[in-house]
């Protein structure tokens, strides 16, 4: 009997099927934190708990609320968006949050790769 789905094939398929999120959190001091995850609800709970899985930044800057979340189909796309957001000035991040306008980025970003939730 021939097995058509090896463990390696299943692993590749399951990681390719994952949805990734890039998010921005507002902290109690008004600062903004940007990250990526595959489970936004779990990740926000980790930030709020200030436990071992919380980001170092949100341990010292208490996470208050999720400001923006974008969904995409790969870790690479999520990481690229995170990198670009982290390079923005705070005023530009605020504009991105309020307007969801990717023209704020200096380099071209294909907005069709991302869905705002």
48-60 mean pLDDT: 87
* Superfamily covering domain 18-102: GIY-YIG endonuclease (3.40.1440.10)
Looking from the CA of 64 toward its CB, the CA atoms found within 13 Å total 9
Q: What is the pLDDT of residue 16?
A: 60
Q: What is the pLDDT of residue 15?
A: 55
Q: What is the pLDDT of residues 20-42, one digit of tens each?
A: 999 999 999 999 999 999 999 99
Q: Which two tokens stand for residue 89?
A: 């000035």
Q: Which residue has the higher pLDDT, 117 or 4?
A: 117
Q: What is the pLDDT of residue 76?
A: 95
Q: Which two tokens stand for residue 117?
A: 């939730």
User: Which whole-number Å values give the CA distances from 3 to 11, 13, 14, 15, 16, in the listed order?
Assistant: 15, 15, 17, 20, 20
The rounded mean pLDDT for the chain is: 87
pTM of the shown model: 0.82
Distance CA 94, CA 103 (A): 13
């Amino acid at each position: 009997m021939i097995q058509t789905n090896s463990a390696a094939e299943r692993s590749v398929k399951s990681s390719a099927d994952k949805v990734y999120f890039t998010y921005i959190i507002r902290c109690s001091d008004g600062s903004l934190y940007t990250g990526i995850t595959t489970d936004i609800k779990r990740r926000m709970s980790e930030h709020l708990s200030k436990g071992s899985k919380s980001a170092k930044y949100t341990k010292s800057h208490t996470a208050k609320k999720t400001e923006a979340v974008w969904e995409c189909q790969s870790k690479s796309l999520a990481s690229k968006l995170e990198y670009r957001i982290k390079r923005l000035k705070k005023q530009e991040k605020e504009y991105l949050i309020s307007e969801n306008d990717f023209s704020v980025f200096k380099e071209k970003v294909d907005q069709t790769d991302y869905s705002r939730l």
